[in-house]
Amino acid sequence: MRVIVLGSGVIGVSTAYFLAKAGHEVTVVDRQPGPALETSYANAGEVSPGYSAPWAAPGLMAKAVKWMLMKHSPLVIRPKMDPAMWSWCLKLLANANERSYEINKGRMVRLAEYSRDCLRALRDETGIRYDERAKGTLQVFRTRKQVDAAATDMAVLDRFKVPYSLLDVEGCAAVEPALRLVKEKIVGGLLLPGDETGDCFRFTNALAALATEMGVEFRYNTGIRRLESDGRRVTGVVTDAGTLTADSYVVAMGSYSPTLVKPFGLDLPVYPVKGYSLTLPIVDPAGAPESTVMDETHKIAVTRLGDRIRVGGTAELTGFDLTLRPSRRGPLDHVVSDLFPTGGDLSKAEFWTGLRPNTPDGTPIVGPTPVRNLFLNTGHGTLGWTMAAGSGRVVADVVGGRQTEIDMDGLTVARYGRSAAAASRPTVGGVARPAA
């Protein structure tokens, strides 16, 4: 089968790799000059199935107000006259209850655990390297209230048999020795030993090279304009370089996916949530993290990537604005200097921003659509790197008509009902705005 994958971030490249491995003829199209140059470029570096959880949690509204009033706020909302923004926010709040949280977290953990296993198998099979470490994630708590609130997450982890340990301060310092210097700032932590870390950009580029050796064609510097149809199925993708045709099409364009598929009656509730990161050189290895430390108060992760520290987090609702705002660096500077004061050189940090494609329930949208040869792999939010290998594998299985290795219930666009798939017959020649 000939398959076109739209998007060359970690999701698109992973999808292309598994499609090629299954024997398909694959072409990847992207507007950028190479792979992983947008949201996948400098994310937090976490492969964290154990930390997979939706933002829509009980008490979200009160937490959001508290976060926005903090000195180093993890959340900023810049209101716009954008119906999609407000619709997404309302749907997010509608999911912020105990029942929805447990359902959505369960779906996310199911896919994330599978993805971690797929990544390990891929690594063993190919020998791919990307500054990877398999030393877990330590979620550190600064208050007793945070420790008590972890009980809900631990119940879901128990249900899916995900290993974890609730640690006191000494236990945290045993796992992350550099925290001994700041023990008075934390009260405990939740260790997720099955989690991993790694450089998503290096991984995606290495995987793209392997895919190229398998025959995948990458068409970079190629803007995607719209999908064409004959009223029943997709017949081609119109690009800056002409119309490309295939038997099947996979949309893996992150935050830009909804605009491309909207003419097909698909109303995807995927909206960009802007995140920021710092990458700084390690100057004191003993003062740097061993793996990932997630600061629960500020919602910021500090991760060791080889001889560098990656600090990633914060959430900014501002549409598709990619302005690199100096004011948003403050929370990142604060957390890394507060928890690891001697580890890295902040004066040499690279400051970056990207758009995370978030769904209001936290679960990505993967698999088939009502359009028979159109497939989706989008909406992974902050967990694209965590879920990439598994999402790529299941989409490749679905495209090829094979049985997936995990239950797809609740992972596809079908969970949104007719509001997301308002029509099963696409509009002929539907036009979408330029995207990836």
Q: Which residues are annotated as a binding site?
A: 3-17
Binding region for FAD:
3-17
Distance CA(189)–CA(300), nearest Å, equals 14
Which of 210, 217, 222, 241 is CA-nearest to residue 25? 217
Asked whether the CA dihedral 61, 66, 67, 68 is positive or negative, the reply is: positive
Backbone φ, ψ for residue 52 (5° rounding): -70, 120
- Kindly provide the b/e burial profile for residues 25-53, where b requires at least 16 CB atoms within 10 angstroms of the residue's own CB: ebbbbbbbeebbbbbbbbbbbbbbbbbbb
Asked if residue 1 lies in contact with residue 247, where contact means CB atoms within 8 angstroms, the answer is yes
Considering all CA atoms of the chain, what is the largest pairwise distance in Å, rounded to the nearest integer?
A: 65
Distance CA(165)–CA(156), nearest Å, equals 14
Q: What is the DSSP letter of 368?
A: E
Question: 300-305 and 308-317: which strand pairing?
Answer: antiparallel
* 379: CB partners within 8 A, 6+ apart: 257, 268, 270, 357, 358, 359, 363, 364, 365
Residue 411's identity, in one-letter code, is: L
